[in-house]
Copies of this chain bind each other. A is one copy, B any other.
Amino acid sequence: MTTRFAVLGAGRIGQVHARAIHAVPGAVLTAVADPFADAAKAVADQYGCDIREIAAIETSEDVDAVVICTPTDTHADLIERFCRAGKAVFCEKPVDLDVARVRECLKVVAATSGQVMVGFNRRFDPDFAALKAAIDAGRIGKVEMVTITSRDPGAPPYDYITRSGGIFRDMTIHDFDIARWLLGEEVDSVMAQGSVLTDPKIAELGDYDSANIILRTASGKQAIITNSRRATYGYDQRIEVLGETGMVSARNHQQNRIEMADAAGFHAAPLLDFFMTRYTAAYAAEIAAFVAALRDGTPMPTTTHDGLKALELAEAALTSAQTQQAVQLTHS
């Protein structure tokens, strides 16, 4: 069985997914949609697929699944439309910036028995997956502490910052998902501090560029997340998990493996500095996991529920940073 895909939105992340679909055995790219004709044409030319309107894709018999790469404020609507149309849906995070809207969307997904995967690509990074497998294999015993260092090479454009929902909803949301995944328990308490250290303009836009967050579960497990919008040495993405019998950690990705030594010491390359090069393998593996779940009829590996939980943590972090109090979460 081959899964026939349409990609909605041919921007940067749409192109990443188009390439991933092309590379995954068992998947084929049938159509692409984008209001910008040039963007759609570029994808269509490169992968030999059709250009169609979104409405046409909704009724396309030769499309089994869609990948939603459109602007965030369209995600929830499109998930609902395509669930109703009986298509499987892969949606870039977040489902929406508003928790209430996400809950509504989840109801539609449930009502239509929709198959929806939310794109938390990092879970599919080969190193992070190996780290998780080591934990699941019991190699560090019970998990106690998760430490996530997550720093971008540089801040996004100002207009993105204003639309993104802020650092916690835009950037930390990936780390919240990873923390939940590795803690293996829901988070009960969130403490966060935010600062503006790299660019005062970010404060004017009402956001932070530097943040630290402590998460705590009911059983007392903790996770700590440290974020910055600026790391001159590249895209810093590290995870470390302490357990009762050991620790497992995932190292960064440098641009190459050569080392220079001279009178000033030893020198190695900076980190990969772009999420697309750093997570190339993760994007491919994530689409492959989606295809495999559809083929095998197994549950989606990351769900709209995961999207909701990560968003709740983001909101709690923002509240904590603003109120200087821990925010307690309840789980229904």
Name A residues whose Cβ lies closer than 8 Å to a Cβ of B.
126-127, 130-131, 134, 139-140, 142, 144-145, 147, 149, 151, 189, 191-193, 195-198, 210, 212, 214, 216, 220-222, 224, 226, 228, 230-233, 236, 242, 244-270, 324-326, 328
* Oligomer: number of copies: 4
Interface pairs (12), CB distance under 8 Å:
A192-B214, A232-B261, A233-B261, A233-B263, A246-B262, A250-B257, A254-B265, A264-B270, A265-B268, A266-B268, A266-B270, A324-B325
Q: In the complex, what distance in Å separates the CA atom of A195 from the CA atom of B249?
A: 22
Q: In the complex, what distance in Å separates the CA atom of A126 from the CA atom of B245?
A: 28
Chain B residues closer than 8 Å to A151, beta-carbon distance? 242
Closest to A327 in B: B324
Q: In the complex, what distance in Å separates the CA atom of A222 from the CA atom of B197?
A: 10
Chain B residues closer than 8 Å to A242, beta-carbon distance? 151, 228, 231
Across chains A and B, which 9 residue pairs bring their CB atoms closest together, nearest first?
A: A195-B220, A246-B262, A233-B261, A324-B326, A251-B257, A247-B261, A266-B268, A265-B270, A144-B197
Chain B residues closer than 8 Å to A142, beta-carbon distance? 197
Chain B residues closer than 8 Å to A324, beta-carbon distance? 189, 191, 325-326, 328
Chain B residues closer than 8 Å to A228, beta-carbon distance? 144-145, 242
A262 touches B127 (CB 8 A): no
Which one, B195, B236, B264, contacts A222 given CB within 8 A? B195
Chain B residues closer than 8 Å to A230, beta-carbon distance? 244
Chain B residues closer than 8 Å to A266, beta-carbon distance? 233, 254, 267-270
Chain B residues closer than 8 Å to A197, beta-carbon distance? 142, 144-145, 220-221, 244
Q: In the complex, what distance in Å separates the CA atom of A233 from the CA atom of B195?
A: 34
B222 touches A193 (CB 8 A): yes
CB distance from A73 to the nearest CB of B (A): 31
A258 touches B127 (CB 8 A): yes
Q: Taking A258-B130, A259-B251, A270-B265 as contacts, is the C-beta distance between A246 and B233 under 8 angstroms?
A: yes
Q: Taking A149-B147, A214-B193, A325-B326 as contacts, is the C-beta distance between A261 and B246 under 8 angstroms?
A: yes
Which one, B144, B149, B214, contacts A191 given CB within 8 A? B214
CB distance from A70 to the nearest CB of B (A): 28
Chain B residues closer than 8 Å to A210, beta-carbon distance? 144-145, 220, 222
A249 touches B258 (CB 8 A): yes
Q: In the complex, what distance in Å separates the CA atom of A151 from the CA atom of B243?
A: 12
Closest to A250 in B: B258
Q: In the complex, what distance in Å separates the CA atom of A220 from the CA atom of B192?
A: 13
Q: Taking A145-B226, A233-B265, A325-B324 as contacts, is the C-beta distance between A248 and B259 under 8 angstroms?
A: yes
